Amino acid sequence: CRAILAVGRKGAVGEVYNIGAGEEHPNIEIARRIVELTGADPALLTRVSDRPGHDRRYALDTRKIRQLGWKPAIGFEEGLARTIRWYRRNEDWWRPVKEGAFRKYYARMYRDRIRSARGGKERK
């Protein structure tokens, strides 16, 4: 929110400002860290077949927003831990989303990839 406020106050109209911590982490590293922080079974990580344009990491050039005087107040590791705590404390918010229309969308969009990653077997 502080970043959006900085752009609103100091940014140039029509410009794009990437908001990020300036840290790079491979997607698999983030997934493994989430599993670790949640105490989940690492077997839940399922590799899916690659696709054109498949992102292995996300990296943003944050120079323009930093020129406005903004910098992240929370590092990636702390932010990830806080996010997990929020989801644990607010299950009543996300549980209906997960079990409702999104579940049907996810199944429709990813069923074939998940099935092929499991050797044609579907998990119940």
pLDDT single digits (tens) 64-98: 999 999 999 998 899 999 999 999 999 988 888 77
How far is it, in rounded angstroms, from Cα 35 to Cα 15?
37
The model's confidence at residue 115, banded by pLDDT at 50, 70 and 90, is confident
pTM for the predicted model, two decimal places = 0.67
What pLDDT shows up at residue 118? 66
What pLDDT shows up at residue 11? 97
13 vs 113, more confident: 13
The predicted-structure confidence for 17-33, as pLDDT tens digits, reads as follows 999 888 888 888 999 99
Task: Output Rg (C-alpha) for the chain, integer angstroms.
Answer: 18
What pLDDT shows up at residue 55? 74
End-to-end CA distance of the chain: 39
Instruction: With beta carbons less than 8 A apart as the criterion, state whether 69 and 9 touch.
Output: no
Residues of 101-123 as b/e, b for ≥16 C-beta within 10 angstroms?
A: eeeeeeeeeeeeebeeeeeeeee
**Percent above pLDDT 90 for the chain:** 51
The model's confidence at residue 123, banded by pLDDT at 50, 70 and 90, is low
